[in-house]
Structure 1
Amino acid sequence: MNRKQRMPLIKGKHKRKSPQEYLKKYSLDAEFQATATLTNDYEMLYYGVVSIGTPPQSFTVQIDTGSSNLWVSSVYCTACQNHQKFNPSTSSTFQWGSQAISITYGSGFMTGELGIDTVEIGGISVTQQTFGVAKTEDNEESTDGLLGMAFQALASDNVEPVFQNMVQQNLVSQPMFSLYLTGNDQQGSELVFGGYDESHFTGQLTWIPLTSATWYEIKMDSVTINGNIVACAGGCNAIIDSGTSLVMGPQNGINNINAWVGASSTSNSVSCQNIQSMPDVTFTLNGHAFTIPASAYVMQWGSGCSTGFGSMGSGGGVDSLWILGDVFMRQYYSVFDMGSKYVGLAPAV
């Protein structure tokens, strides 16, 4: 039986095992993976479908490696317009939890109650999964909810994330998942549970150790253009985050990048006619260079263009935490190894 599942997208001090050690360990067992197909929503977000309850009720959820909770709109949310709404009373397997839940994101929020039910995604059914039953939300996205894929340490109310439960219930053979994000409004994006798909990248995966098992946070050495350090001088930290559309960073670093690539000094707009002559931007992560060409970091909106580099504020004048969002992830197939606490990156195809 194959437990490598595909989903279409519509810090301890103990010795850390390398991804290769985990692969060797699990190679003795059957390979359990599943794949979920994801939908590319105008390159602003990527979502898949989850089903909750008995009989199942289906919802679109944004796939977010920058948070850890699953939640969906519910019949108790009067303001949740144009969304499918979970109805607990029609599920024979639903139980109410004992806590309320409240989550604030970089943009938007949700509040509600915790519930427990069976959750299915990509052909994998997770039993006794705790999730948020939204009663109020500020969700302007097209999706009905959100599926957080980060570590439990980041979860509101210390809820066990869906993927962690997949591992604990032996539904996947390896404690890793991977993301393939398409560009140019193309479909075919995928979330693979339990492994990765070599057909979506070239060369070998570069494995980078996590500096924190909350987000998928890694060491970034610098950001360079034409060999010149333009941001993150002296090093900083970055997270690989599918829930953020752009590459985000402190204002001084982002302003410098935008100036070097020729963006407007008052915004990140550029001339669409200049894309071919604009320079590459290179992010050096733990000693390895990952380059993004202008064709990948310039986003076209109707008749205008802008860079995919956005500011998170002044950051106190110091380059600290960066977010390598979808602009970066479309270029690099991303493997998230929760067991060994590594991220693997390779050029996407």
Structure 2
Amino acid sequence: MFLSLCQEVQREREQMDKYTLYMVFGFCVHGFIEHFPGHTKFLEINISIGTPPQYFKVLFDTGSSDLWVPSLYCTRKACGKHSKFDPTKSSTYTKIGTKHHIEYGTGSVRGVIGADQVTVSDSNTISNQQFLETVFETDDILLNATFDGIAGLAYPPLEPDGMTPIFDNMIAQNLVELPIFSFYLNRNPNDPVGGELIFGGYDPCLFTGNLSWAPVTQKDYWQIQIDNIQVGGTIAFCAEGCQAVVDTGNSLISGPPDDIKQMQNLIGAHLNNDTYFIECSNRSVMPDITFTINGIPYPLIPEAYTLVVSPVSCFDMNSPNGSFWILGDVFLRAYYSVFDRGNDRVGFAPAVP
């Protein structure tokens, strides 16, 4: 059954551009991966806010809960080249006025909360969605970014000011048949479609085998348990288990600083300006890194856990301030991911090339 469905979907895909909506098990929005200084990659998707619609390119982020876009009143340099929301031009806008501040690992934003209708695809509009209209953004988060804002897909407890996350409103307003969403990040740099995000379902054409599930261990981030981490077939980290966050808003794999430092030594990387680099020619002899999650091994070959930044130089992992690991887009390009709010679990399966 899946084969005929996949063949039909593929025929439809060939007739669509990268922004087109189509049905699989839910509604799907195509995104695209942009490159910008720093050589990180994110899946960015167009949304609209207000009536008539004002368009924004946002990063859908499982590592946060907030929806925010720049306000018309943001004068920071970081806001300069980005689309800005003008509340005076929307007939469906409601002023909330509560001040709110968001901290990320790479910067911060602050502004005031408003509410309006938000459209994620041509026919799926969320009513009365609260969002942050930012009036201040640190340069390090958006100055060189190609996305205008961030749409958080984590659990509501991350939201102290009471803004309901966008996916929770989709569920409450019966816009999705199932309380799940799924990500596919395309590994082919020449494909104009950088990936797909499906709300309300998943696409069996985009992975092989069966989904394997890991329960969420803490309902704020999409946090799961890692059994162990192997380097070259030998357990090197998390021998007694450790916690990890599945984060589409992080381009790399991150971990506790001491573990990352030891990991770099094991794979032969060197530190330069707070970033670990390797010679790309060495990737053929570098070890695989395997994350075992709920009894299932998820290996990453060197070409998967490194990013090419020049013909001879690659970089791989970073170390945030924290005690848990972060499985970012490096991991998620290799494995299709399904986020199940109904059963509080995350599913993985090998992604198609």
TM-score by length of 1: 0.87
1:285 maps to what in 2? Answer: 293
> 1:66–1:148: 8 Å Cα contact kept in structure 2?
yes
> 2:277–2:316: 8 Å Cα contact kept in structure 1?
no
Question: Residue by residue, what CA displacement relative to the aligned partner does 1:63-89 show, whole Å, maximum 9, x if unpaired?
Answer: 111001101011110111100111000
Taking the TM superposition and a 5 Å limit, the aligned residue runs for 1:158-197 are 158-185=162-189, 186-188=191-193, 189-197=195-203
Q: 2:308 and 2:81 mapped to 1: Cα distance?
A: 27
Structure 1 residues without counterparts, runs of 5 or longer: 1-5, 11-29
> 2:25–2:202: 8 Å Cα contact kept in structure 1?
no
> 1:271–1:305: 8 Å Cα contact kept in structure 2?
yes
Question: Residue by residue, what CA displacement relative to the aligned partner does 1:172-209 show, whole Å, maximum 9, x if unpaired?
Answer: 10000000011253442010000000111000000110
Mapped pair 1:67 → 2:64:
yes
Aligned to 2:270, which of 241, 244, 264?
A: 264
TM-score by length of 2: 0.86
Q: 2:338 and 2:126 mapped to 1: Cα distance?
A: 21
Structure 2 residues without counterparts, runs of 5 or longer: 1-12
Change (3 A) 1:69 1:89: same
1:326 maps to what in 2? Answer: 329
Q: Look up the SS of the partner of 1:344 in the other structure.
A: strand
**Greater than 4 Å deviation, 4+ residue runs:** none
Q: 1:109 and 1:265 mapped to 2: Cα distance?
A: 26
Across the two proteins, how many residue pairs are aligned to each other?
319
1:91 maps to what in 2? Answer: 90
Aligned residue identity for 1:33: G
Change (3 A) 1:31 1:264: closer
Q: 1:76 and 1:37 mapped to 2: Cα distance?
A: 30
> 1:333–1:348: 8 Å Cα contact kept in structure 2?
yes
> 2:105–2:320: 8 Å Cα contact kept in structure 1?
no
Q: Look up the SS of the partner of 1:311 in the other structure.
A: coil
2:341 maps to what in 1? Answer: 338
Q: Look up the SS of the partner of 2:57 in the other structure.
A: strand
Mapped pair 1:33 → 2:33:
no
Aligned residue identity for 2:106: S
Change (3 A) 1:276 1:32: closer
Q: Look up the SS of the partner of 2:227 in the other structure.
A: strand
Mapped pair 1:310 → 2:313:
no
Aligned to 2:55, which of 54, 58, 76?
A: 58
Q: 2:89 and 2:146 mapped to 1: Cα distance?
A: 24
